[in-house]
Structure 1
Amino acid sequence: MKARLVIIGYGAIAAELIGRLRDKHGPDCVLAVLLRADSTSCSKLPAGVSCLTSLDEVLHFKPDLVIEAAGHHAVHNYAQGCLAAGLSFVAVSVGAMADDAFFKQLSQTATQSGAKLIFPSGAIGALDYIGAVRDLPDTQVVYESRKPPSAWADELQRLGVAQPLTEDVVLFDGHAREAALRYPQNLNVAASLALAGNGFERTQVRIVVDPHAKGNTHRVHATGAFGEMHADIVNRPSPDNPKTSWVVGLSLLATVERYFAPVVFG
């Protein structure tokens, strides 16, 4: 795979992506990272990875693809400018699309420029199935997130929930838009299901803190005229961020490679 790539951010996901790209593709993959001008991460980048500090520098670098791995603010700050310049944009922080006006703006810009707004599957699977049945009028999708208390430590403290927990705590039960807006750092999966499927208001979400969870568990249940689908995925948390599943970095690598691949499954 020969490509010029810009990655926004240098957290755990970006660092893993860069490491795997360099291991698999070596010098064929020319990499740069977009960071704030005052970021201390510039000095931590691996040798041979350029540090960029503005959208103008990104455009001058002339990447084939821009990949966001820095949070919702990065999507808001850079997606529009990249798409308008004709640069396809991969957004890990799918929950930013819960802002319907913002999503429509990006979609319109991508249509006009010919660029693509791309969402990796991240911590979830079965999005191809959900996308295939979404237009059937009776399709229903329910998503349940189960994570250990360590993933929700700040929220549990804010709510005054005593720890250690001995039983499940339900943090949320409602539709995907409210879930993604309320918990932007934890509910990118809900937004992915909503976008791939039949919309934010028609995708039901339940968030459970499970003291017995062995990993980040995602349960998807879809029913309709097509039949019935159940998917249970148990992901190990990232060693560097318990709120993020380890597989997210691998999913991002697969998304990038699929973008440049001559043969695509989907």
Structure 2
Amino acid sequence: MSAPRDPACPRHVGQRPIGLIGFGAIGRALAATLGADPAYRLTVLRRGDGALLAGVDAVDTLEALIAARPALVVEAAGQGAVAEYGPALLEAGISLVVASTGALADDGLLHRLTLAAATSGARLVVPAGAIGGLDYLAAIAGLPDARVRYISRKPPAAWSEELRALGHDPVSLAAEVVLFEGGAAEAAARYPRNLNAGLTVALAVGPALAGVSVVADPAVTSNTHEITVESPAGRAAMRFTNRPSPDNPKTSVLTALSLVAAVRRHFDPLVI
């Protein structure tokens, strides 16, 4: 396993040091983009061996990742990684982009993370992930009588295990099946790998979230997110139809792109 690069080395002067936790489908997609960009120096914290992309370093402990002095760390390893690594990174003054936003349904963990960020001056960043419109949702969140609903629709292939457990054949499914209706925190806990978007909506709108629905729908071929809003400011309907990741149909190609955008936004002089 390679050692972290020396940030004082002349060929790395001016590069922006980025940390990455996890090297699954999302982590590999992010590394392929940032690792190929000479503006960034990428260090991956992962368990196990295996080939990395050229220009990407690897470490196997949190201490080694912190020692690499990243300006920002992206978590792409699941909800458990947020709890395991997040507080220490923020306490060390390193900002953290959380892909597994479902972990923030744990109020105790969210408090620990935000307290650590406030104390050190680091930032806990929730990216848009597979959806958009978070600026609109945050703007209407405090309005009286604002109501927001979120529906996740995915092809039956993304829910094969869950459908079989209910007695449905995902291959021959003829009509949509509602797998869940309720709150965002419960949805994120029940489906920790693929209901991060619902929790992101909940963080943006707070008590205005009226409910979350999870649907296996044979009529869709892409991961689809529907958000409807009613508030004193007006009405909005947003629908995002995303191509599934070829490596994991439960997540979207857009998720990794959103993380890349969050990293670049961290350094950009103009923020949109």
Q: What TM-score do you get using the length of structure 2 for normalisation?
A: 0.92
- Whether the 8 Å CA contact 1:55–1:78 is kept in 2: the answer is yes
Q: Choose which of 51, 54, 71 in structure 1 pairs with 2:61.
A: 54
In the TM superposition, residue 2 of structure 1 has moved relative to its aligned partner by 3.3
Question: Where do residues 18-33 of structure 1 align in structure 2 (5 Å cutoff)?
Answer: 18-23=31-36, 25-26=37-38, 28-33=39-44
Task: Report the more deviating stretch, 247-256 or 14-23.
Answer: 14-23
User: Aligned pair in 2 of structure 1 residues 80, 13: CA closer, same or farther (>3 Å)?
Assistant: same
Say if 2:202 is the partner of 1:191. no
CA distance in 2, matches of 1:80, 1:158: 36
Q: Which runs of 4+ in 1 moved over 6 A?
A: none
CA distance in 2, matches of 1:46, 1:2: 17
CA distance in 2, matches of 1:177, 1:59: 30
Say if 2:191 is the partner of 1:180. no
In the TM superposition, residue 159 of structure 1 has moved relative to its aligned partner by 2.3
Match of 2:142 in 1: 135
- Whether the 8 Å CA contact 1:193–1:203 is kept in 2: the answer is no
- Whether the 8 Å CA contact 1:194–1:203 is kept in 2: the answer is no
Match of 1:171 in 2: 179
Match of 1:148 in 2: 155
Q: Choose which of 112, 126, 150 in structure 2 pairs with 1:119.
A: 126
Q: Letter of the 1:222 partner, please give it.
A: V
Match of 1:82 in 2: 89
Question: Where do residues 198-209 of structure 1 align in structure 2 (5 Å cutoff)?
Answer: 198-199=206-207, 202-209=209-216
What's the secondary structure of 1:33's corresponding residue? strand
- Whether the 8 Å CA contact 2:102–2:192 is kept in 1: the answer is yes
Deviation per residue, 1:89-134 (Å, 9 max, x gap) = 0100000011111111111111111100001101001111000010
CA distance in 2, matches of 1:262, 1:145: 34
Match of 2:25 in 1: 12
Task: Report the more deviating stretch, 250-259 or 174-183.
Answer: 174-183
What's the secondary structure of 1:138's corresponding residue? coil
CA distance in 1, matches of 2:222, 2:53: 30
- Whether the 8 Å CA contact 1:147–1:215 is kept in 2: the answer is yes
The percentage of counterpart residues that share the same residue type is: 45
Match of 2:266 in 1: 259
Q: Letter of the 2:196 partner, please give it.
A: N
Match of 2:103 in 1: 96
In the TM superposition, residue 140 of structure 1 has moved relative to its aligned partner by 0.6
- Whether the 8 Å CA contact 2:146–2:231 is kept in 1: the answer is yes
Q: Letter of the 2:43 partner, please give it.
A: A
Match of 2:225 in 1: 218
Match of 2:9 in 1: none
- Whether the 8 Å CA contact 1:66–1:87 is kept in 2: the answer is yes
CA distance in 2, matches of 1:209, 1:136: 32
In the TM superposition, residue 220 of structure 1 has moved relative to its aligned partner by 0.2
Cα RMSD, aligned residues only: 1.3
In the TM superposition, residue 8 of structure 1 has moved relative to its aligned partner by 0.4
- Whether the 8 Å CA contact 1:120–1:251 is kept in 2: the answer is yes
What's the secondary structure of 1:70's corresponding residue? coil
Deviation per residue, 1:127-163 (Å, 9 max, x gap) = 1100001011211110011100111111112222234
Q: Letter of the 2:41 partner, please give it.
A: V
What's the secondary structure of 2:251's corresponding residue? strand
In the TM superposition, residue 203 of structure 1 has moved relative to its aligned partner by 4.0
Task: Report the more deviating stretch, 176-185 or 221-230.
Answer: 176-185
Deviation per residue, 1:32-72 (Å, 9 max, x gap) = 10012xx13xx311233211111110121111111101111
